[in-house]
A = this chain, B = another copy of it.
């Protein structure tokens, strides 16, 4: 096959977390030109003896220092002018984790979580990539496709926190009493008995998802 058919592919990971009711994404800061100081998604080029899924998992593990996690394919970007020299195809993946599990190591590189509604200056077309992947992830959240809510909230949370997250994702306010009723009366959440403390105002009750009831549940 002629060399016209040789394509360069990079794999990109968009790593999400639900934190403080926000949908956040993990980015690192580019250390050298071009786009020095701009933020980028963790990525790597694909060799022709590697699978994309393996590569995406490798990037995820390297970025988060977590050994386990689920990654899912998202969109592919093949515009001819993504990069200046020659076309490089980007295959995006998304992963979901708990912000508290990721230790940010500032040795060689700077990295941080950003609210998806307040992204910093991003290199290349990474902003467009994040927007596209985020749109897809939001659709999955709204339909709870693949039980994605359990990935976002594997541990304890307060109902106000969950509600803020929903409001962020759906882009609209909801009534607190109705929100509580929906989750509590349908037994979708379990009361852990623990209360939050430290912040101003009345403490909240910590819940956790009732995995049995949530699995396959369209919320």
Contacts and interface: CB of A to CB of B under 8 A. Distances in A.
A1 to B, nearest CB: 6
Contacts of A89: 9, 52
Interface in A1-48: 1, 3-9, 45-48
Interface in A63-81: 73, 75-76, 78-80
A5 B79 CA distance: 18
Q: Quickly give the copy total for this chain.
A: 2
Contacts of A91: 76
22 contacts: A1-B45, A3-B6, A4-B47, A4-B48, A4-B49, A5-B9, A5-B45, A5-B48, A6-B6, A6-B8, A7-B8, A7-B9, A8-B48, A9-B9, A9-B89, A49-B80, A51-B78, A51-B80, A53-B78, A76-B76, A76-B91, A139-B143
A196 to B, nearest CB: 33
A7 B4 contact: no
Contact of A143 (B1, B51, B73, B145): B145
A47 B4 CA distance: 5
Interface residues of A, number: 30
A87 interface: yes
A86 interface: yes
Interface in A120-179: 139, 143, 145
A100 interface: no
A202 interface: no
A218 interface: yes
Given A4-B48, A76-B91, 14 more contacts: A1-B8, A3-B6, A4-B47, A4-B49, A5-B8, A5-B45, A5-B46, A5-B48, A6-B7, A7-B7, A8-B48, A51-B78, A52-B76, A73-B76
A14 to B, nearest CB: 15
Contacts of A4: 47-49
Contacts of A73: 75-76
Contacts of A139: 143, 145
Given A75-B73, A76-B76, A49 B87 contact: yes
